[in-house]
Structure formats: C-alpha cells, structure tokens
C-alpha cells in the first residue's frame, strides 16, 4: 500500500509527541476496538518564516480540512490490527489519528466551537450523561453510540429545523482524535475517556440531538466546509 512520504509531512514533532500519537492509535485500535488510520498530515510551506501549514493531499491550500483527513490509505483501510497501526505510524509518525465512524465504531455529532461550552452546560443541567468530547479551535465533537441512517433520519424529522452548522459523522465518515494536530491547532479531549482499558461508554444519539440542535442554532460556523 503506497504511503505519503516525508516531503508531504509538516516539520517533525518532538519524539514524545510522535510517541503519543502512536499510543493513542494503539489504544483506540487494540483496547477499544475502534478502527483507525493515519490522516494525510501536512507538507512544509518552504517558507523559513513559517506560515499556515498546507495539506499533504493534492488539494493543498484549497483542502476543506487540511491535514486532518484520510487520503492514502483511504478510509476503507481503517483497522484494529496493531501490526498495521504500528507500521503506519513507524512510517508516518506525525500523522493525525483518524477514527472511521459508523458500523460497530462510535459515531459523532459536531458543532461550532462557540456552541460547545453552552451545549455541555445544558447537558449537565439536564443530567444527561456524556461520553468523550473532542475539541479543536473551530469545532467540538460529541462521540455517541453507533446509529443507523434510518434512526438519525427519524430524529431529525422530528425537529422543526436543523442548523447546517451541526454535522453528523456516521457510516462512511470520520473524526480526528487527540493528540492530533489540525491546521487550526491541536485536538484535545474536552471530556476525556475514563482511565482503564475498557472502551468508553457512549450515549445514544437520541439523548443528545435536541440539545445540540438548540446549541448550534445561531452559532457562527467557522470550521470546515465539509457537509459532515
């Protein structure tokens, strides 16, 4: 399987940061049985003064989610095989960790970062239990239990209106996991998985949709142009 070579990566991370990416990928794949694969990463701008990183894919500056998406290998290559995970990150130690959502893996709902804190406050006020929450400078993602398109369609049909800034990462989608780096900054756990080897508990999508629709309504959407 052809890999993205060094010329397509941004300047190398410190050894501890590269090790953290591999550990995160192995934890997801082997302990939690979440299928992962490396994101495309960045290429150097060639400007000694730095500048915005450019995606390693052919779209370069026009990429909707620079660095933080699958390219080669493609999304269907996502795996829980530790040998493959180690091989990928041995060859591309700076690559973001990408979770292939849907199927038996977690799904996610994401909303603009500005809407994230009010949404979490509303969940706490209502006593709704959440699982892990991923945060980037532009968007926050709530991980949920796997859902079908039919189930999601029924939930959305019951809403008066669903803002376009609320996006759904289900079958055929993906989410970027900490401690990856995106074009706008680092990816971190706003609400981290609990310590231990057990896979994190995840809420049903039906228990979070109403709050996320309300929180996303009117929130500025400064994140990715991708529909999901």
Transcribe 47-91 into DSSP letters.
Answer: -TT--S-EESSTTGGG-SSTTSS--SS-GGG-B--HHHHHHHHHH
The Cα–Cα gap between 107 and 101 comes to: 5
Task: Choose among 113, 99, 125, 75: nearest CA to 25.
Answer: 99
When pLDDT is averaged across residues 145-170 and rounded to a whole number, the result is 94
The Cα–Cα gap between 153 and 151 comes to: 5
What confidence tens digit (pLDDT) does each residue in 96-137 have?
999 999 999 999 999 999 999 999 999 999 999 999 999 999
What was the pLDDT predicted at 201? 97
Helices vs strands, H then E, count in the chain: 5, 12
Q: Residue 172 in 3-state DSSP?
A: coil
Residue the block writes with tokens 């309300």: 214
CA distances for 197 relative to 5, 19, 118, 120, 219, angstroms: 33, 18, 30, 25, 36
- The residues spanned by each domain of the chain are 6-216
Instruction: Give the whole-number percent of the chain exceeding pLDDT 90.
Output: 68
When pLDDT is averaged across residues 130-154 and rounded to a whole number, the result is 96
Instruction: Give the whole-number percent of the chain exceeding pLDDT 70.
Output: 83
Residue 128 CB neighbour total at 10 angstroms:
14
What was the pLDDT predicted at 1? 35
């Amino acid at each position: 399987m052809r890999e993205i070579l060094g010329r397509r990566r941004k300047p190398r991370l410190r050894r501890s940061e590269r090790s953290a990416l591999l550990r995160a990928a192995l934890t997801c794949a082997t302990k939690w049985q979440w299928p992962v694969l490396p994101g495309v990463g960045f290429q150097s701008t060639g400007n000694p003064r730095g500048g915005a990183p450019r995606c390693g894919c052919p779209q370069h500056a026009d990429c909707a989610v620079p660095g933080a998406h699958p390219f080669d290998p493609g999304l269907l290559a996502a795996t829980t095989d530790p040998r493959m995970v180690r091989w990928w990150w041995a060859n591309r130690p700076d690559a973001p960790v990408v979770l292939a959502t849907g199927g038996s893996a977690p799904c996610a709902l994401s909303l603009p970062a500005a809407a994230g804190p009010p949404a979490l406050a509303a969940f706490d006020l209502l006593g709704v239990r959440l699982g892990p929450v991923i945060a980037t400078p532009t968007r926050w993602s709530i991980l949920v239990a796997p859902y079908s398109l039919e189930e999601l369609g029924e939930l959305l049909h019951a809403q008066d209106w669903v803002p376009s800034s609320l996006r759904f990462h289900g079958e055929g989608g993906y989410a970027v996991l900490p401690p990856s780096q995106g074009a706008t900054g680092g990816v971190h756990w706003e609400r981290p998985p609990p310590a231990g080897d057990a896979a994190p508990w995840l809420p049903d999508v039906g228990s979070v949709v109403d709050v996320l629709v309300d929180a996303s309504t009117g929130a500025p959407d400064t994140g990715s142009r991708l529909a999901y």
